[in-house]
Structure 1
């Protein structure tokens, strides 16, 4: 890999599983930009990675898209106590430090504590401990030419903070991540949202896992209010969506925001205006009212990626077009106003159809990124949906409650189906997820009500 430099990648300490895996968000971005990463050690639950990259340019490319990454620095020193760190810096080769110490270059040193806090006076004392470094330029606290970061890591448990840090780091800041995009795309300020609109942070991570890039064709077959289209368009994708919910796509459902519940939705509350809000209208192709269980797309449609959050049957209905009647006929005069009847569309059927659709329409190397709900006590990775033409690249968990979570699965297409329909391997647990969930909720409420009666009886009987 030639001459490599050490870099410290520091992550936001949330959604740990989404960057913990070697095949997570940052690695997907690295694959997209064809950047080679070498780990000093495999990722752990620490909020940092020490990696080797070819250049600052590679580091900046990773940071230019990552939502999980907070900052990336060229690592000048790393030790388990400060004295050793200072000795490392004093022995630093001249060719590393000299280019950043010229008289015309302003600089600043920032002190950061992870899982601890210190006074400004204490931080200033630590900054002054680096006075031996041969900086010649002026100190500039805002927008300096060079920024340096000293970090002390006190572990992950705020209840048992050690007297001394576990690790100390010093490095030259190369770039910050894209955390500000989360705020810019906040659902609180978005024109059109629904009950299940995807959190912008997770939507952007999904687009990164799908490796959406400029000019890609991206589809969400369960589009809802279009949050995933916004994220894909943000990274340059041309976006398409489909959903069976006519009222949602036409902005005729009840407003989601509490303060607007008694009002009607505004006429401009729709997906296309969400894209306009973020100056992404030119990336919007269309959304269609359609049943994703039916093959309504042309057989030669080729997609670069599919990102979606299928309905689970909990807060939104799982329906497909169909009827339980033996014979149904619609006269020609009824067709203009006819609304087809619907039947239950089980989660197992949804996932099976989704994987089969991805196999038929993704390009080779294209990715499907989708959520799958699970009961945590029953979870077994072998039970997750599988297809012989799709390789599972990553599997990340978002915990929803003590009992349930959902897994964000990333698949990459590795083979063409060659015309034949291949069965999707799917556990029976997905056939009755909705029923099991509501049975569990019912049982829990009955236990809570019983406990409440016992407590009241005990109190009244004193």
Structure 2
């Protein structure tokens, strides 16, 4: 999250010159993912968005500045975590403070609606339920605005919203009656649009998908990853740990072409004969995007077939980290004796002669080594300004910022690092951008990694998970 705020501060805050202000209201989920998604979509559509870099990311209300109202409408069409957008009029720690600011600073915005515009009020709160008797008191407090139009609760021409923000009640015994009116801030504005992208969560619901597995990513998070990857028409996106294709369905839905690979082709194919279409293609056909799947291939990503770089606009993936399925690479845990090597070669030759499939042996792929290799591979395969988006599980108690920064290499810049907290552990959505035009050679992903100065919180994650994260 800190990387996203720093990016906002350096890129956008300097552009705040009399830009219209808007109140964004988010869904109460994934609070650390909100700002990175906003910044990514603003970059994708080529406009600036500015807000207080020190804002509380846990608060679902965000006041930001956009050059045009059309930019706000673009955000609600694509932003998964955005529920509503209001033209911002005022805010305050008390109603007196908010009304004073509304009358002094926003009169030029709402006076155009006074004469003949039908209207209605919406009153709501975060972390609290406002009693019905106080709704009328709140609405009557805006009498000084002098609206002369009809009050129409069903089809008003404009909707005015008033929102109170309360602290969380988690771990506190205060009753609703005691808390009522003890809000942190109250916000007021005119409704512009409702979020449209959240309906995609139901569309991509894994339970309704024709083909999925026990490691398929949930719909909401895969959509967020597609936005972080700036998925759009004319772009090519790659998932090197494709599995059942959860990462690729949203990016293709947003117009991108996709390519997937996995060391285990059975994950992509699913059950069925050799003539049956792969399971991934079945689900892609369900979403009407099968024509945007370039291909699916089976190979070990450390011994990949890519012979030229700068191919992809984005790499989006959820590397296996061993809880439900472990990462694998070609090789053996223990070296064979010369006698067994010869026997193995003879077995392979015999299998080829009988036209039988030969399944090569695999060995575990430790997560910290995988993460470093993934960044190196992304630097080689991505086009300039292309993005790598992936999940990194970490032990919360042991995590430090250096754990992510130590994975970076020359030419790769951290854009966002957002935590999805599960208590003793969490998974971090990492977004890295390729900030170089240099053509790097193919990385050697089979060499041993030098030991780091400290043990990162994601090293040997599988072992730590099953040990209950005990020291």
User: TM-score category by the smaller chain?
Assistant: 0.7 to 0.9
The normalised TM-score by structure 1 is 0.84
- Higher mean C-alpha displacement, 374-383 vs 89-98: 89-98
Q: Which residue of 1 aligns with 2:441?
A: 419
| Residues 1:420 and 1:311: Cα distance change in structure 2 (over 3 Å) | closer
Counterpart of 1:60 (choices 49, 69, 73) is 73
CA distance in 1, matches of 2:293, 2:81: 26
Q: Is the 8 A contact 2:260 2:297 kept in 1?
A: yes
**Residue in 2 that maps onto 1:244:** 263
Aligned partner (choices 109, 112, 116) of residue 128 of structure 2? 116
Is 1:216 paired with 2:216?
Answer: no
Q: Closer, same or farther in 2 for the Cα pair 1:426/1:181, shift >3 Å?
A: farther
Q: Which runs of 5+ in 1 are unaligned?
A: 254-263, 445-462
Please point out which of 218, 230, 234 is paired with 1:199. 218
Residue 176 of structure 1 is matched in structure 2 by 194
Count of residue pairs brought into register by the alignment: 426
In the TM superposition, 1:378-457 aligns within 5 A as 378-384=398-404, 385-402=407-424, 404-415=425-436, 416=438, 418-419=440-441, 421=443, 427=452, 428-429=455-456, 430-440=458-468
Are positions 1:343 and 2:363 aligned together? yes
Task: Indicate conservation of the 8 Å contact 1:348/1:426, yes or no.
Answer: no
**Match for residue 303 of structure 2?**
294
Q: Indicate which of 56, 60, 78 corresponds to 2:91.
A: 78
- For residue 314 of structure 1, what is the aligned residue in structure 2? 323
Call closer, same or farther: CA 1:93–1:434 in 2, change over 3 Å: closer
Provide the C-alpha distance between the structure 2 equivalents of 1:119 and 1:381, rounded to a whole number of angstroms. 44
Distance 1:270 1:420 in 2: 31
Gaps of 5+ in 2: 1-14
Q: 1:310 to 1:276 in 2, by over 3 A?
A: same
Moved more, 386-395 or 428-437: 428-437
- Report the counterpart of residue 372 of structure 1 in structure 2: 392
Distance 1:289 1:241 in 2: 9
Shift in CA distance, 268/7, structure 1 to aligned 2, threshold 3 Å: same
Show CA shifts across 1:51-76 (max 9, x none). 22212112112222111222221111
Separation (CA, whole Å) in 2 of partners of 1:379 and 1:272:
38
Q: What's the RMSD between the two structures over aligned residues? A: 2.8
Kindly indicate whether the alpha-carbon contact (under 8 Å) linking 1:251 and 1:270 is maintained by their aligned counterparts in 2.
yes
Q: Is the 8 A contact 2:393 2:426 kept in 1?
A: yes
1:406 and 1:41 mapped to 2: Cα distance? 23
Q: Compared with structure 1, are the counterparts of its residues 431 and 101 closer, same or farther at alpha carbon in structure 2 (3 Å cutoff)?
A: same
Structure 1 residues 377 and 75, CA gap change in structure 2 (3 angstroms) = same
Distance change in 2, residues 1:186/1:144 (3 Å): farther
In structure 1, the partner of 2:23 is 8
The equivalent residue for 2:248 is 229
Q: Structure 1 CA distance, aligned partners of 2:86 and 2:301?
A: 45
Q: Output the CA distance in 2 between the equivalents of 1:235 and 1:141.
A: 35
**Given that residues 118 and 157 in structure 2 are in contact (C-alpha distance below 8 angstroms), is that contact kept between their aligned partners in structure 1?**
yes
Distance 1:426 1:217, change over 3 A: farther
CA shift in 2, pair 1:55/1:102, >3 Å: farther
Per-residue CA deviations over 1:79-107 (Å, capped at 9, x if unaligned) read 1111232333334555412444463x443
Q: Is the 8 A contact 1:389 1:417 kept in 2?
A: no
Deviation at 1:48? 1.9
Shift of 1:227: 1.2
Task: Find the counterpart in structure 2 of residue 187 from structure 1.
Answer: 206
1:195 CA displacement: 0.8
For residues 408 and 322 of structure 2, the distance between their equivalents in structure 1, rounded to whole angstroms, comes to: 21
- Distance in 2 of aligned mates of 1:40 and 1:248: 44
The answer to whether the Cα contact below 8 Å between 1:79 and 1:167 also exists between their aligned partners in 2 is: yes
Please point out which of 46, 51, 60 is paired with 1:39: 51
Q: Give the structure 2 partner of residue 147 of structure 1.
A: 159
Structure 1 residues 98 and 81, CA, compared in 2 at 3 Å: closer, same or farther?
Answer: same
Distance 1:296 1:282 in 2: 23
Residue 301 of structure 1: CA displacement? Answer: 5.6
How far residue 406 of structure 1 moved from its aligned partner, in angstroms, is 1.6
Partner of 2:319, secondary structure, is: coil
User: Counterpart in 2 of 1:89?
Assistant: 102
Please say if residues 192 and 269 of structure 1, whose CA atoms lie closer than 8 Å, have aligned partners that are also in contact: no
TM superposition shift of 1:179: 2.2
Answer whether contact 2:127 2:168 (CA < 8 A) is retained: yes
Which TM-score applies when normalising by structure 2?
Answer: 0.82
Query: Per the alignment, in what secondary structure is the counterpart of residue 174 of structure 1?
Result: strand
**8 Å contact 1:81–1:167 — kept in the other structure?**
yes
